[in-house]
Amino acid sequence: MQWPISSVPHWHFGWLVKYKQLAATSAGRNIKMDITVYQQRRQTVLNKIGEDGIAIIFAAPEQRRSNDTEYPFRQDSYFHYLTGFPEPGAALILNGREHTSTLLCRNKDPEHEIWNGFRYGYTAAREQFAFDSADDINQWPVLLKQALAGHRRLFALWGLYPENDPKLIELWYEVARIANYRSANGSTIAPDSLVNLASILDPMRLIKDKHEQSIMRIAAEISAQAHIRAMQTTRAGQYEYQVEAEILHEFMQRGARYPSYNSIVAGGKNACCLHYVSNNCQLQQNDLLMIDAGAEYQMYAGDISRTFPVSGRFSSAQKDIYDIVLAVNQASITSTVKQANWQNISATAISMLTQGLIDLGILHGSLEQNIETQTYRRFYMHGLGHWLGLDVHDVGGRFDSNEQPILLQAGMVTTIEPGLYISAADDIPQAFHNIGIRIEDNVLITETGNEVLTASVPKTTAEIETLMQY
Ligand code: MG
Ligand code: MG
């Protein structure tokens, strides 16, 4: 539909320009892989595990869906972070003493490739992904066992794929036994500690480098455009999954093959279920629709929530609740800057939400009393946000090993997602029944402030109502 230029609000032009740029730059194409990024990360890990450390990281396994069909394969986030290698049936060994990285993968198999697609094979994989060496994945126990001797620490992502852990322990035990025997002659050293590699990788992944930031901008923008499409196309009488189809359509048209998690498309009271993914109810004219959906682009997640009226017009009660959540979203984003303490931002959010509920007569008594007794938890039962990156709930934690809050640093990306969820109940005024609202943005902390990666999606009630007229 063509918009009469004179009636298009000025903020539409920004979207249109971005929209066209994005269509030209992202749809159907991949960012050219910069292998040096992965090489440098491996070097960093090799330096951190030191000469007496050896590490093994496994690719994700394939997952059976039914009989002989499988779920779409998604590479393990840690493995991808260090290799960029896209296949299952692979592992990476980082040898600290030799300072080398070895890829183990499936070899070429013309017959298998006719049925199931291309494989690099270990010769091409070593060259194209710049490993020091590559070998057959079936050799990993042999090669790891050979390499274990001479290292004091074995790093792995223990528990991530539990099926691998017993084999690793067995290999370690075999080498340790021989080493103990030979150590009488002082000839062999075996690992005497098993270390979680996440203690090295999680702090690295917490700070997004320029390469990651550029991908996350696109993941966020594609996600944003999908939410705009949903606002523009939603009509009463549709089923929630039909709105989900519009979102997935936009993701794929813009080059994001998959969502980064199961999309939540929740009309009316369904929004009060935090992880509602059934998406099979019919939208009612007077309900709100809460959508929590994000695109995965080049393995990185977008994660946006918006809430809008099915009819295109907020009721007065819906607007009252919405504006409380919006104010918290905006205030929290303003506070999300370098050196800020996330715990303080979260506490302020709780205080603002609670005061808003008191002002509307949904909670009673003083602010202090309600916070003390956590009455707000009936209406706001989740945290203010989470790290975002390769995983939608990304690694890193909010506290360091001394249980001190990790202050925000440039390069971190967090979601900001306050919400209020008011189920029907006798002690709540009826106008507020079944209102569930979440407003979620993705925020990159910078040296000078922050960058809201998801700023393209409207979020004031006026902006949303205007967009929904077209
Ligand atoms: Mg979300
Ligand atoms: Mg989220």
**CA 211 – CA 37 distance, rounded (Å):** 8
Distance (Å) from CA 168 to ligand 2 centroid: 35
Distance (Å) from CA 441 to ligand 1 centroid: 8
| For residues 172-187, average pLDDT | 68
Distance (Å) from CA 292 to ligand 1 centroid: 5
Over residues 372-430, the pLDDT tens digits come to: 999 999 999 999 999 999 999 999 989 988 899 999 999 999 999 999 999 999 999 99
Ordered strands of the 413-416 beta sheet? 413-416, 441-445, 450-452
Task: Work out whether strand 153-156 and strand 64-66 pair parallel, antiparallel, or are unpaired.
Answer: unpaired
In CATH terms, the fold of domain 5-27+207-469 is Creatine Amidinohydrolase (3.90.230)
Over residues 338-358, the pLDDT tens digits come to: 999 999 999 999 999 999 999
Q: How many Cβ atoms are within 10 Å of 176's Cβ, its own excluded?
A: 19
Just list the catalytic residues: 68, 275, 292, 303, 382, 386, 393, 417, 421, 438, 440
Over residues 288-301, the pLDDT tens digits come to: 999 999 999 999 99
Distance (Å) from CA 293 to ligand 1 centroid: 6
Please tell me the number of the ligand nearest to residue 438's CA. Answer: 1
Please tell me the number of the ligand nearest to residue 388's CA. Answer: 2
Angle at 212 between CA 210 and CA 213, to 5 degrees: 60
**pLDDT for residue 10:** 38
Mean pLDDT (the chain) is 92
Cα–Cα distance list, 25 to 18, 68, 336 (Å): 10, 37, 30
**pLDDT for residue 176:** 83
Structure letter (DSSP) for residue 289: E
Return the domain boundaries, the chain.
5-27+207-469, 35-197
Two domains, one topology: 5-27+207-469 and 35-197: no
Distance (Å) from CA 33 to ligand 1 centroid: 28
Distance (Å) from CA 30 to ligand 2 centroid: 25
Cα–Cα distance list, 277 to 16, 272, 273 (Å): 31, 12, 9
**pLDDT for residue 174:** 87
Please tell me the number of the ligand nearest to residue 385's CA. Answer: 2
Question: For residue 34, what pLDDT band results from cuts at 50, 70 and 90?
Answer: confident
**pLDDT for residue 16:** 42
Question: For residue 121, what pLDDT band results from cuts at 50, 70 and 90?
Answer: very high
Cα–Cα distance list, 295 to 7, 130, 198, 394, 467 (Å): 31, 29, 25, 15, 21
Ordered strands of the 295-297 beta sheet? 258-259, 295-297, 300-301
**CA 183 – CA 205 distance, rounded (Å):** 38
HSE-up (13 A, CA, CB side) for residue 293? 35
Angle at 25 between CA 20 and CA 29, to 5 degrees: 130
Q: How many Cβ atoms are within 10 Å of 418's Cβ, its own excluded?
A: 28
Question: For residue 150, what pLDDT band results from cuts at 50, 70 and 90?
Answer: confident
Count each helix (H run) and each strand (E run) in the chain, helices first.
14, 19
HSE-up (13 A, CA, CB side) for residue 20? 5
Residues in CB range of 250: below 8 A, 6 or more apart: 222, 225, 226, 229
Please give the backbone phi and psi of residue 93, each rounded to the nearest 5 degrees, phi first. Answer: -115, 125
* CATH architecture, domain defined by 35-197: 3-Layer(aba) Sandwich (3.40)
**CA 213 – CA 384 distance, rounded (Å):** 22
DSSP string, 262-284: --EEEEGGGGGSTT-----SBPP
pTM of the model: 0.92
Compare 14 and 300 and report the one with higher pLDDT: 300
**CA 432 – CA 379 distance, rounded (Å):** 12
**pLDDT for residue 253:** 97
**CA 331 – CA 325 distance, rounded (Å):** 10
Nearest CA among 165, 166, 187, 169 for reference residue 178: 187
Distance (Å) from CA 224 to ligand 1 centroid: 12
Helix (H, G, I), strand (E, B), or coil: what is residue 53?
Answer: strand
Please tell me the number of the ligand nearest to residue 383's CA. Answer: 2
Query: Is residue 6 packed enough to be buried (19+ CB in 10 Å), middle (13-18) or exposed (0-12)?
Result: exposed
